[in-house]
Structure 1
Amino acid sequence: MASKDLQKTVPFEGSNLSKKEQIAHMFNDIAGRYDFMNHFMSLGIDVGWRKKALKLLVPLQPKMILDVATGTGDVAIMAQRMLQPDKVIGIDISEGMLAFGREKVAKAGLSDKITLQAGDSETISFPDTTFDAITAAFGVRNFEDLEKGLAEMYRVLKPGGKMVILEFSNPTKTPIKQLYNFYFRYITPTIGKWIARNKAAYSYLPSSVKAFPQGQVMIDILQKIGFQAVTCKTLTFGICSIYCATR
């Protein structure tokens, strides 16, 4: 039920476009302001979240990493620096985001180690068991079909490989819950309208977080797909969660 609710949650209510098409259009529109908005709205805490997620992959020493819904490549770049794999491949449906990501990769001098390419996370264009590790930061809740996307990630992961998903979650403790809900409901869309010049994108954000299956529900979905040793760790009073799973 939870994943069905997520599928119905779209950026542009009343649009004839599919959720996938709406997501691509939305991110193309905000690509130039996306990084600034991320850091501004999280007060820079999002950088630490990414580091904590990637640290879970250190013991694995992965040689091939797939970064799903890579956006502007923040995780791909951080993964290359922290884990030093042979190759990081990032896929995303937004060409606008990828264009900014490729500029960042080139500026970091990592174009020989990181490839960012157009790709649909629900039909990943790589053979079975290609990657040692898979990462996804703040992207899986944008899937049109969550379980299909997760199953694809399972398919291209090597046996013994590890997947790490970083995603927003809803705090449950007072008063953080109330403050968080107020910020997301009223402040976030206003900031989105003023700075990103796209109120719809930042109204969709809280709606998609609310609809996303969290905690044990998400663990159950991952286990149903076939993942093992599934864990969920909440960060910053429950604002964010790290899901870690092994094939």
Structure 2
Amino acid sequence: MSSVARKKPLVIGEKSRYVRAMFATIAPRYDQLNSLLSFHRHHAWRQQAVRLAKVGPGERCLDVCTGTGDFALALARAVGEQGTVVGADFCVPMLQIGLQKIRNRGYRQIKMAVADAQALPYPNASFDVVTVGFGVRNVASLEKALAEMVRVTRPGGRVVILEFTRPRPSPLRPLLDLYLFKILPNIGGWLSRKEAYTYLPESIAQFVSREELAAAMQRAGLTQITIYDLNFGTVCIHIGVRPAYTGEVLQ
């Protein structure tokens, strides 16, 4: 369970349906608000995740919960023209914006697809690197999403999770919480849909800790898990490796 307890559920009803509808509503202003609310740092966080995962030329990558494709773009710059990137998401309006952005920038190695993180339509061991940026917190079942990400990763490949998290105890934590739980929802509400930007900090508060996420990755079959804190501990990168098993039959 998360270290921050709440008295009411985050979502009333079926979470996947709620999240899909919410992101469809905020899609037109999503990129603008991401940059504003992160002080233009979210691109740098994705680039750092790509560097830490040692994504290289020619590799085949999948970005789960890709949204408008920013992580897919960061991966494409690393794999080059000989590599392949697939951006998958179940929210069509977000994908449409991402597809237009990718076309405008001329990244032919990126393909966008409608797909649910909990039931990925790809064969076992299809990708060298599987990433998710600020999306795993929104899936209905963390365990199912992790299992699918590991399944489609080749033995020796990497699973990379970039996600918001609660900062560790420090003198700065009250100020960080003030921004996250008070200021950010108000700014988001003024410029877009207030419900969505209330959901954001509440979903962070209810999500597993960095240590619990690492443990969940390990249970899903990943090894060599490393954790990197960014932005005063409010953002975390988790990287795990799918081990190679002797005699494994790959589809």
TM-score by length of 2: 0.90
Match of 1:218 among 210, 213, 218: 213
Contact 1:89–1:115 (8 Å) recurs in 2:
yes
Distance 1:187 1:62 in 2: 42
- Going from structure 1 to structure 2, the CA distance change for 1:235 and 1:108 (only over 3 Å counts) comes to same
Deviation track 1:104-130 (CA, whole Å, cap 9, x = no partner) reads: 0100111x3111111000000001110
Contact 1:58–1:83 (8 Å) recurs in 2:
no
Contact 1:9–1:208 (8 Å) recurs in 2:
no
- Going from structure 1 to structure 2, the CA distance change for 1:9 and 1:49 (only over 3 Å counts) comes to farther
Contact 2:55–2:78 (8 Å) recurs in 1:
no
Deviation track 1:129-167 (CA, whole Å, cap 9, x = no partner) reads: 100101111000001000110000000000000111100
Q: Does 1:241 align with 2:241?
A: no
Structure with a larger share of its residues in helix: 1
- Going from structure 1 to structure 2, the CA distance change for 1:165 and 1:9 (only over 3 Å counts) comes to farther
Structure 1, gaps ≥5 residues long = none
Corresponding residue number in structure 1 for 2:85: 88
Corresponding residue number in structure 2 for 1:69: 65
How far residue 58 of structure 1 moved from its aligned partner, in angstroms, is: 2.6
Corresponding residue number in structure 2 for 1:106: 103
Distance 1:177 1:25 in 2: 32
Amino acid at match of 1:105: I
How far residue 174 of structure 1 moved from its aligned partner, in angstroms, is: 3.0
Deviation track 1:191-213 (CA, whole Å, cap 9, x = no partner) reads: 111111x1110001011111111
Higher mean C-alpha displacement, 113-122 vs 53-62: 53-62
Question: Percent same amino acid among aligned pairs?
Answer: 37
Secondary structure at 1:58 match in 2: coil
Higher mean C-alpha displacement, 209-218 vs 131-140: 209-218
How far residue 236 of structure 1 moved from its aligned partner, in angstroms, is: 1.6
Distance 2:135 2:55 in 1: 24
Q: How many residues align?
A: 239
| RMSD over equivalenced CA pairs, Å | 1.9
Structure 2, gaps ≥5 residues long = 243-251
Superposed counterparts of 1:1-247, under 5 Å: 1-2=1-2, 10=10, 13-14=11-12, 16=13, 18-58=14-54, 61=57, 63-84=59-80, 86-110=83-107, 112-196=108-192, 198-247=193-242
Distance 2:73 2:180 in 1: 28
- Going from structure 1 to structure 2, the CA distance change for 1:108 and 1:145 (only over 3 Å counts) comes to same
Amino acid at match of 1:55: R
- Going from structure 1 to structure 2, the CA distance change for 1:128 and 1:121 (only over 3 Å counts) comes to same
Distance 1:155 1:27 in 2: 26
Moved over 4 A (4+): 59-62
Distance 1:141 1:199 in 2: 19
